[in-house]
Structure 1
Amino acid sequence: MTWHGPTFRISDGERVDGAWCLVWRKDEWLDAHHPEHLFVYADGRITRGKYEATDLAGLAKLLASGKIGLTPPGTPPWSAPDPKWESRYPEPLTAESFLVEVADEITRLAGRPTAADRCWEAVRAYRAQPTEERRALLRDAYLAVPAHNRVYVLGDMDLQDRPLRTLLTDLGQAVDGDGPVATEEMHDRARAYFADLFDGEAAAKERRAVLYADEPAAAPEPPVVLCEVVYPNGWPVEPGPFTLRNDFDAPIDHRGRTYPTVAHAYWALSAADPADHDRVLACPTAREAQDTGGRAPRRADWPGVRLAVMAALLRAKFDQHPRLAEVLLATGEAGILYTGFSDAPFWRDEGPNGGRNWMGRLLELIRSELRAAVQGVPS
């Protein structure tokens, strides 16, 4: 089955992750079938559509009764062509193997090892200690993978799962029943396959460690969310995160002109006509500056330079207002999410709906520059 996601539902105020696949539901009134989504969730809940809840046992009954089908009505049964060894195809999807797959998907959503994960762990254990006992455990782990997915368990498009099936076939027995008789030499080749695979994995891991040597090792701090706020009676005396927003009254000098806020400067500098620039500059509030600047024709080069202009304005703000620089530095290493409704999605974070959050990114950049300056580190 093809699983889609992510999705989720809220249960007792908690998010429960889920996924869905397509099944065929029987309409008993019309004696017909129609496609429907089957949702599964990390807590084991299963729903047809989004509302008819059941569990694994209930799903088994629905499959056995024919109320849910896995293929469109009238689809002829499929079987792999002979000989099986030379033409390796997935095992047919059955109700039994689908139930195993659903249980496995619930396990994955819950953050626990899947059957494929456990199979790989058994491969590693056998490679570390290649005993008959470990090989038997590996066979059990392989057979625990949903039958129609076993061919994919190694992720090898060329050899598929042949090395694993060869290794699990007892000496003197035909692989897959119609393949070559397993020999010690074949087992050695299978073991060599996994040795090469894990050696390559170790080399790739070492290479990633070198390439990503500057990746932060500590867990990320919770993000700082800069919400859009309004203070009808004026800004609070004690500076807080609200001072990091562009509409905060922090005059800045930029190229010989003084602007009441970053917002004034940004919209004034975007104007193509000097007269519009001055009208924006004269606006009594940042909101009016944005409204005025938003109506004025913009410079032809503005899309290509606006990030550089905003970065320069932010540097001016925090260089010229040390107390505000302290507020920015106090956010630590946390990500900064610049939210609200007045700025374009290019500048703000919109959560699951998108937003590029360039204001948040630039504030993180300026914060890093300020910290480097405080510590005397050349930037």
Structure 2
Amino acid sequence: MIGKRITHRTADGVRIPGTWRHAFINNGGHFFLTDLFIFADAIVDCWGLVTLEEFEEKLRSGWVATSFPEGAHASAHELAAWTFQGARSWHTPELLLAEVRDTIDQLNGRPDSTDRCLDAVDVFLADRTESNRAAARAAYLAIPETQRPYALGDMDRKDQPLQALLAGPGGVMESWSDEPLSQEAYDEAVEYFEERDGLIAEGASRMLVDGPEGSFAPSVHLYQTFSRRAVEDPGPAGLRDDYPAPVDVDGVTYPSVAHAYWSLSAAEPGARAAVAAAESSYAARALAADAVRRDGWEQARTAVMTRLLRAKYAQHPALAEILLATGDATLVYDDAGSGFWGDNGGRGRNWSGRLLELVRSELHARRAGIG
């Protein structure tokens, strides 16, 4: 299961999504607790990148361990060391491999073994023949045993209704009871699925009150530029803070948003004037770096930048049109000098991009007469 453990690797310039889970590596009889990385292209990193077939061999050979001999030594790198005594494992090589296969399906947005089982259950509920029940039961048994309790997403009942439905009246729910299933218990399971299907259908038909949760447009990457002069059609480069679009703030005209930002950050009036008059935004930043910062600047800087961006796009309608044309795209802003303002390959906070999206939303609202 992927959960919140999201990672990636880059192959030939392509970002490959992945996830990770804990696992033990048996290296010469010493067991190491480590992370097993699983990627969407069916590559697994278990102390080295291997294909899924090679990973299966490492499981069969015990290199990726699922059993632990009594008295064997183990360690977690630079954290702890211990000896196995009475160790229990919930996995076999087959189970772990099946979970990894499911994870690869999930990373690719494909149905995994649980999805295939629930699809087979839907077929059975629509046409309750014994052959359809047998097909659904086979699909249920194809779910890794460790994952079956999570199949319904109901941690109160776990997979009890699923087992009851597939066992049928007089059948046996192996992990719940050795007693034959009563007609009443079976009817309760059928009712459970009918109610569940109704809730799912209702949820699917319900419109999102507030619109989609994520952006449906491709991201727009605002790469680092060093524009010295304005051009007729700057494109996305015109959305950069350092683009030469003069902005008037409180009666002072600055060559760019970047000039205004760095000027306003300085405590001394003389330093502010020097920064405002700097030849370039790069020079303005350098001068500001040598100046004394205003008290409370760190806490106020996003508010200041928001005000400056509002002024820029109010005073430059052509640039506002470029910003509006990005729709609802995520704006990814590069800033080699700041991990606060820039995204910087996913390592920064992208505040410049986020504030541009805020101002863009305000422009859309104004155009639509909202607010």
**TM-score calculated relative to the size of structure 2:** 0.81
Please name the residue that 2:155 is paired with: 157
- 1:285 matched to 2:280: yes
- 1:183 matched to 2:178: no
Deviations along 1:27-56, one digit per CA (max 9) or x if unpaired, are 44xx444445544443444454114x3543
In 1, the alpha carbon distance for the partners of 2:327 and 2:2 equals: 42
In 1, the alpha carbon distance for the partners of 2:61 and 2:167 equals: 37
Q: Does structure 2 retain, via aligned residues, the 8 Å contact 1:348–1:356? A: yes
In 2, the alpha carbon distance for the partners of 1:3 and 1:262 equals: 41
CA apart distance, 1:359: 1.8
- Say if 1:176 and 1:369 are closer, same or farther in 2 by CA, change over 3 A: closer
- 1:235 matched to 2:238: no
Q: Does structure 1 retain, via aligned residues, the 8 Å contact 2:21–2:36? A: yes
In 2, the alpha carbon distance for the partners of 1:358 and 1:181 equals: 62
Aligned letter for 2:217? E
Mapping of residues 1-379 of structure 1, within 5 Å: 5-11=5-11, 14-28=14-28, 31-51=29-49, 53-56=50-53, 58-74=54-70, 76=86, 92-176=90-174, 178-205=177-204, 209-212=207-210, 214-215=211-212, 220-231=216-227, 234-235=228-229, 237-240=231-234, 241-342=236-337, 344-353=338-347, 355-373=348-366, 375=367, 377-379=369-371
Deviations along 1:176-224, one digit per CA (max 9) or x if unpaired, are 28433212211101111222333333445566x3443x3379x722222
Task: Figure out how many residues of one structure are paired with residues of the other and give that number.
Answer: 355
Q: Does structure 2 retain, via aligned residues, the 8 Å contact 1:4–1:21? A: no
In 2, the alpha carbon distance for the partners of 1:296 and 1:67 equals: 58
In 2, the alpha carbon distance for the partners of 1:332 and 1:2 equals: 31
RMSD: 3.3
CA apart distance, 1:299: 3.0
Deviates more, 1:132-141 or 1:102-111: 102-111
In 1, the alpha carbon distance for the partners of 2:368 and 2:15 equals: 45
Gaps of 5+ in 1: 80-91
In 1, the alpha carbon distance for the partners of 2:12 and 2:340 equals: 35
Deviates more, 1:10-19 or 1:319-328: 10-19
Deviations along 1:246-288, one digit per CA (max 9) or x if unpaired, are 2222222221222222222222222333333233233333222
**Among the aligned pairs, what percent are the same residue?**
39
Aligned letter for 2:267? A
CA apart distance, 1:157: 2.2
- Say if 1:304 and 1:202 are closer, same or farther in 2 by CA, change over 3 A: farther
Aligned letter for 1:285? S
Aligned letter for 2:243? F
Aligned letter for 1:323? A
Q: Does structure 2 retain, via aligned residues, the 8 Å contact 1:24–1:72? A: no
Structure 1 or 2, whichever has the larger Rg, is: 1
Any idea what SS the aligned residue of 1:351 has?
Answer: coil
**TM-score calculated relative to the size of structure 1:** 0.79
